[in-house]
Amino acid sequence: MNDWNIQSRAHACSACEQPFADQAPYHTALFEDPEGLHRRDVCRRCWEADVQAQRGSRPGFVSHWQGIYEAPPPVTESIQKENAESLLRKLIGQDDPRYIPAGYILAVMLERKRILKVKEEWQREGRRVFVYEHARSGDVFTIVDPDLQLDQLESVQREVSQLLEHGLNPPPAPQTAPDESGPAVNPAQPVAATAAGGQPA
């Protein structure tokens, strides 16, 4: 199983393939197989008629919850400033283990803001795994707890602050232009001290 991933909410029932209506209730079931976690979003009718009865007997069943479908807002072209949610999505997209601690901190920040909600928690190979659902989009985030120690928190929080400010690709540091007012000096050669009369000391 990947340490973390995002699974978007479906816009139609995975059983009958009928599109979800805005504000309609739906059910999400989470299953696990050797390739990882997989979600199924189904309408209430299909859940009551079929999926609910099979969830206990279907191999790999992990969890289930109910939500309300919200139609996605129209796409806008405006560029928005980096925030915790967009940064978390980008970090997960990088699939780089070094960003797992920063991703965990971002998920906790979003949970406190009630943007993400914990739907499931379990132990995997000695580590806690959290399944978060986005309150509006319904996207599911799987986040592993990196078990940060107190002496690690400060450096990770500092990394998160830098990522929020500069993004994944910070601008290069400006280079100082060479001083053209005088001849260039080779730093490898010693500079002779000059006496007050202008002659080398």
pLDDT score for 82: 60
pLDDT in tens, 90-105: 999 888 889 999 999 9
pLDDT at residue 78, rounded to an integer: 43
Task: Identify the DSSP state of 200.
Answer: B
Q: What's the confidence (pLDDT) of residue 167?
A: 81
Looking at residue 172, what is its pLDDT? 56
Q: Please state the domain extents for the chain.
A: 5-166
The list of the chain residues with pLDDT below 70 reads 1-3, 51-57, 75-82, 170-201
Q: Give the model's pLDDT for residue 142.
A: 92
User: Considering only CA atoms, which of 197, 189, 142, 134 is closest in space to residue 32?
Assistant: 142
pLDDT in tens, 17-34: 999 999 999 999 888 887
* pTM for the predicted model, two decimal places: 0.67
Cβ neighbours, 10 Å, residue 133: 21
Rounded distance between C-alpha atoms, residue 114 and residue 182, angstroms: 61
Spell out the long-range contacts of 112-115 with Cβ–Cβ below 8 A and sequence spacing 24 or more.
113/84, 115/84, 115/85
Tell me the backbone φ, ψ of residue 159, rounded to 5 degrees.
-65, -40
pLDDT at 76: 52
Return phi, psi of residue 116, to 5°: -110, 145
